Structure formats: structure tokens, C-alpha cells
Amino acid sequence: MNDHAPPAPPAPPHPANRPPDPTPDPAPAPTPRRVAPALAVFAAVRALGLLALWLWGSAAGSSAHTLLSARWDSLWYARVAGEGYGYEVVLANGDVHSNLAFFPLLPWLERAVSAPTGMAYGDAGLVVAWTASLAAAWGIFAVVDLLYGRRAGVLAVALWAALPVGIVQSMAYSEALFTALAAWALYGVLRGNWVWAGTLAALAGLTRPVGAAVVAAVWVAAVLARRGGGGTWRTAVGAALAPLGAAAYVLWVGAHTGRGLFGYLDVQAGWGNGFDGGWAFARFIGGRLGSATPPGVLAGLGLLAGVALVLWLCAACVRQRQPVALLVYGGIVVALALCASGYFGSKPRLLLPAFPLLLPVAVALARRRTGRAAAAVGALALASAVYGAWWLNGSGPP
């Protein structure tokens, strides 16, 4: 009988030391079947917001349809769609509000929808915005699902829909369209689809001035890919395509106004818009804090809390180690929103495309039980619906 036991088999290597799987499973594609729960939640939250707006309007004697399609910036976009550029309003103080401030992609799409259907341009804008909002929800889900899983993706979409100013997603405004283009451009960057990403970045640049954030995200990711040895000719093509939309419109405005590169800046200055590093916004908050009335002080404290929350979410995104493209995009959207010098009431709306800020919250909720996560989202959705109805029946988004 052999008194020596056979040698024990070697211990398997620690997971951290195992060689990578030579054929890893591909990341799941954001197919209609996979994204369906996210789109269903998004539609439910937005429907709640529209119902609240209709009920509030019925009680206040206002028209929800008019508030969504024919007020504030919706009227400017519709005029561009119907008459083109060249319209301006001269205010009593001499400021000139020119419709050249409004980028052309949404009006082009309004015209494209109106031409075969006979819809009014404002109604066509609603069709574009509602379709784009679904595309944005899909794109947000695709990004988050790729990075953090399906459950987090659904919750990120729900949180985006339930933002306090989420009602803007259902208005004939350009925020939903821009967010859709930005989200899918970032998804293209994450998947290495550079031509796709660059093309969508160019379209985002034709939609809103903040398209610069998408361009910067594509450029930074392309440079990092190149340095990491993963860049190809497609990377260079995507990076070259990215700025074409914004550059084309800004140069056209410059030629149209005879002011060259400064033409678009002059147009924005006529609206009181500019970039001052946040000084004007800080003075605006300080004025509220120094108000002699309690509502003014409370408004100032609320603004301070809002800014602190946004900055905390930015820091949480860095701690979460989000991909650089998302950090660049989100950071620039926040910087442009908070550091612009005009229309302080628009700042929450300008932050709407900054969906990467929601990812830390979505991932945290994804770790909770379904009931708790649903209760949290439901409470936010209800608050958003009530706030949106009150907001549009009051000062509204300038």
C-alpha cells in the first residue's frame, strides 16, 4: 500500500490574476426588446407629467397644447421653420433679439414634418420633440446598460424623465433632440463607432450651442484611443466630422451678419447671453440671499442647494470613474449652464442634457430592492409632474 498521498492539484489562480478570456461575450445590444422596460417607464413618467399639466390648465383656464407648442422659444423655432432667418425684435433698451440665436436642425425637422402633413409648425415641433425624447431615453439606456447593466439603465431613464424640468422633454424645444444626438454619439464613442459618433456630434452642433460638449467628448476620446494604439482612420474621420455642424452654422451667421467669427457672439450678446465664469449667476444668487423678504432668501438658499447638488453629482461621476467621454461631455454641459451670464431661470433647462450626472444615483438605486427603487422614482415623478404643471402655468422656461 502506498503511504504517500498524491499531490494536491494546484489552486486555481485568483480571479484578478487570471488571463483575460480570449473570446469575451460581446456587450448586449440595445435592441427594442431589451430597452422596452426603460421606454415604458419613460412614457409613463412623461404621461403623468402631461396629465398634471392638463389638469392644472383646466383649473387655471390655460391650454396645455399652447403651453407645449406655442410659447416662449417654441414660437421662435416655428418662425424660423416658416419664414427662415432674419426676424428680430428690438427691445426698449436697444437690445436686439434675433432668431439667428436659434440653431437650425429643429426648425428643419419641423418643416420636414409639416410639409407632407399640413401640421402647424408648433405641432410638428411636438412630433419631433416627442419622437426625439424616446430616442434620447433609448440612447441614455444604451450608454448606461453598456457600462452598468440593464437595471441601472432603466433607472437612469426613469430619473431623466422625472427631473424637475422634465416637462421640457415634451415641449417643442430642442433639448430632447439634442440629448438624443448626444447620447447616441457617446454610445458610438464607447463602442468605437467613430464615424457614427462624429456624424451625430455634427448634428448635435446644428441643434444647440452646447453641441461643443459633444465635439469635445469625441475629440478627447479619439486622442486617448490614438495614444492607446486603438486609433484607426475611422477615428480620424469621426474626429474630423464632429465639429462640422456647429462650425458651419457659426460661420454662416458670421457671413450673414458681416461680423465673421464674432457674428454669433454678437447675436447672443443681443439676448444678454455670454460666458463670464458664473459671476453674474453668483451675483443673482447673492441678490436673492440679501433680499428683505423671506421668499427671496428661500429662493437664494434653494439656488445654492441646487448648485451644490450639481457639483456633488459631478464629483460623484469622477469617483464612479465614468469613461472620459462622459466626464468631458457632462462637465462642459454643466460649465456652460452655470457659467452663462443671462437668463438665470433657464439654467435648470440647460442642465437637462447632462444625463451622466444621473448615473451615480441610478447605480445606487439599482442596488436597492425593486420596491424601494420604484417608490423613490415614483415620488420623484409625481413631484416633477406637479412642478412642471405649476412652472408652465407660471413663468415657464424662458
- 3-class DSSP assignment, residue 340: strand
Residue 89, classed as helix, strand or coil, is strand
Examine residue 67 and state whether it is found in any structural domain, yes or no. yes
pLDDT at 398: 67
Give the domain range for residue 370. Answer: 34-391
d(CA 142, CA 157): 10
pTM of the model: 0.92
The Cα–Cα gap between 170 and 108 comes to 18
- 234 touches 244 (CB < 8 A): no
In a domain, 326, yes or no: yes
Any domain includes 4:
no
The answer to whether residue 14 sits within a structural domain is no
Cβ proximity of 238 and 209 under 8 Å: no
Q: pLDDT tens digit string along 121-155?
A: 999 999 999 999 999 999 999 999 999 999 999 99
Q: Compare 4 and 348 and report the one with higher pLDDT.
A: 348
Q: Would you say 324 and 262 are in contact if contact means Cβ atoms under 8 Å apart?
A: no
Q: pLDDT digits over 198-221, tens only?
A: 999 999 999 999 999 999 999 999
Q: What is the pLDDT of residues 266-317, one digit of tens each?
A: 999 999 888 888 888 888 888 888 887 888 888 889 989 999 999 999 999 9
Strand pairing report for 88-90 and 96-98: antiparallel
pLDDT tens-digit series, residues 62-91: 999 999 999 999 999 999 999 999 999 999
Q: Considering the domain boundaries, does residue 7 fall inside one? A: no
Q: Which pLDDT does position 279 carry in this prediction?
A: 86
Distance CA 367, CA 361 (A): 10
- Let me know if residue 29 belongs to a domain: no
d(C-alpha 59, C-alpha 39), whole Å = 30
The count of domains in the chain is 1
In a domain, 24, yes or no: no
| 111 assigned to some structural domain | yes
